[in-house]
Structure formats: C-alpha cells, structure tokens
Amino acid sequence: MDGFHIFPTFSELSKQDQELVVNAQKATENSYSPYSNYRVGAAVRLASGQILLGSNQENASYPAGLCAERVALFHISSTYPDAIVESIATVAKRKGDTKFKPVTPCGICRQVMLELEIRQKSNIRVLMQSSDERWITSENIRKLLPFSFEQDNL
C-alpha cells in the first residue's frame, strides 16, 4: 500500500505521533455526543509544532452536528489562516468504555482535509487505527480519497 505505513503497536509510532494520539484521546473528553454516545477526538499538529484539538459536537437536529476532525480544522482555518497543517490523528471511544475503538476519518472529513491540503500546497499526514487495531499513517489525504471531487471539477 504505497503512501501508507503500518505500525502493529502503538509503541512503534514515533514519539511525536504518540503525543498526537494522546492529545486526540484527551480531546474526546470534550465531545458533546449525547445522541450517538460515540466520543471522537482529533488532534492536529501544525508545522509550527503547535497541537490543536477538536471533538465531535452533536445536536438534537442530527445533521447539524459536526465531526471532531472538521471542528478542529475549521477552527484552525478560521483562527490561524496561514497555519500549515502537518498531521491529524483521530481516535474514538464509546461513552462508558475505557478502551478506545479503532476509527478512520469519515468521507466528508476526508473531503475537507483534501481541500485544505490543496490550499496549503503541503501534505497532511493522517494517523488512525484500522479495525484490526494496527496503527496506520497515510502520507497525505489524496491517498485517502481517490477519484475525488474538487475545485477543478467545477
């Protein structure tokens, strides 16, 4: 799988990536998810080294809610418009569970990540856990969203 790296255990990730995952885990604490009881956390590392967080925010009008990744990325784009996003880690756990469940970013979040990657002209790495519990990094978003729809299609 060109463009992807597989790490059978958490401890095989680089220290920087481990730090990002731990931050994403921390972000789940601020998830507002009374409807799904599924707490998602995202942690984003900027090229400056700064780490920013997001968590899923739900609403009684279900489609009004937003995924953790987009909460983080839209916050960054609106607050630090010149920031370069280097990596993003996503984790999730069910309310009441102690153990995190493997999760990969949803299609809409990949779409948003791709447009940011194109805008900033620099790859965004994604750090996630596949269903077999191995850790996966994708070197960029384009690999995660093949045959994508984008600005040039308009």
Instruction: Tell me which residues touch ligand THU (CB under 6 A).
Output: 33, 36, 38, 40, 56, 58, 65, 67-69, 90, 105-106, 109
Min dist. Cβ of residue 152 to ligand THU (A)? 25
**Pairing mode of beta strands 85-94, 125-129:** parallel
CA-to-CA distance for 134 and 19, rounded, in angstroms? 17
Which residue, 67 or 89, is less far from ligand THU as judged by CB? 67
Vertex 49: Cα angle to 117 and 114 (nearest 5): 10
Which residue, 47 or 108, is less far from ligand THU as judged by CB? 108
* CA nearest to 124, candidates 133, 136, 114, 109: 114
Task: State the chain's maximal CA–CA distance in angstroms.
Answer: 45
Of the residues 12, 29, 69, 150, which is catalytic? 69
Min dist. Cβ of residue 57 to ligand THU (A)? 7
Min dist. Cβ of residue 154 to ligand THU (A)? 25
69 labelled catalytic: yes
The DSSP code for 102 is P
Active site residues: 69
